[in-house]
Structure 1
Amino acid sequence: MLTAPGSLKAECSNCGATHTPLWRRGLNDKLNCNACGLYCKLHKCLRPKSMRASHGEGRRSGASSLASALSALASVAAPPPSSATPVVEVVSPGVSSAQCYNCHTTATPLWRKDEEGKTVCNACSLYYKLHGSARPISMKSDIIRKRSRHDARAQRSSLTEPPSASNTPGTPSETPSASPGVSRRPRPV
């Protein structure tokens, strides 16, 4: 473990810990242990006493410190679910149980939330953003198509350029050369 820079024995100003993997500065530039410093950085307030380790020992006593951390988490944990609390179903990674509130699809590259907090698919969300109304169910498709941006640019540029009659094979181009003063005409033999 490390001691505070420039001192023989350091103590966390919040929890009193004397050992930590990294000393940090907290509110009002006070010296904090790693745990209190990270908590302060994330929540912009001091770490609660219920989360502090006992006797300022940090992680010195492996199993007992784990037990104290678990008991601290249990004391801060949410109350047991009541009948009014919705139950969230846990699914395996990669399998989505989400369903669009508007079109009821279960496959989308990106799930979004509407203004009321309801889960909607990417297509319905973008349609609403563009048109200001819900996406019609008749527009629903079972196939997710990727945009081909590269091909679209090539087709657009070929449609906007008129065909040039001077670029026929065997005749010099009317466009200027990369090197001025250099002719593209073949040399006489």
Structure 2
Amino acid sequence: MALVNAGMPSPYGPGGTNPYPAGAYPAALNPTSSTTSSHGSDRSMAGIKQCYHCNTTTTPLWRRDPATHQTLCNACGLYLQQRHSERPRELIEADQDDDDDGVSLGAPDGPECSHCQTRQTSVWRRNKEGDQVCNACGVYERLRGTPRPLSLKRNKIKPRAKH
């Protein structure tokens, strides 16, 4: 096996060995160290980022604790930045319980579309007969002059893409 840098001087001097002891750097700066967070998960070692405080693995933006440099999700990072304290467990648990991705503005016992029987819509409308209909059914009927086919009904409201 030939040396890659044959004939080149070692960056560590004439001896060619690293002069720094193995534990000279903190674990966060040492790529060969394998430590886990005090919260008991080693997902970061598998290549998955995880919030140090709430253990979430999805966020629109990853942040860092300014004091400890631990990885934080956007919610925990902003809370810490604005209030100078960790995000309370009640807020974290409320976010984890709220797993509904769609927009649900209608209460479960609230109004119901007289055409497709949905209870979720951004706006309630009235059709020509005066019946209360969801936004999708109302707009479809107003533009096309015919009731919206029930085959077009979706379980969740899909928000428009932001350009």
Which band: TM-score by shorter chain? Answer: 0.3 to 0.5
TM-score calculated relative to the size of structure 1? 0.30
The higher radius of gyration belongs to: 1
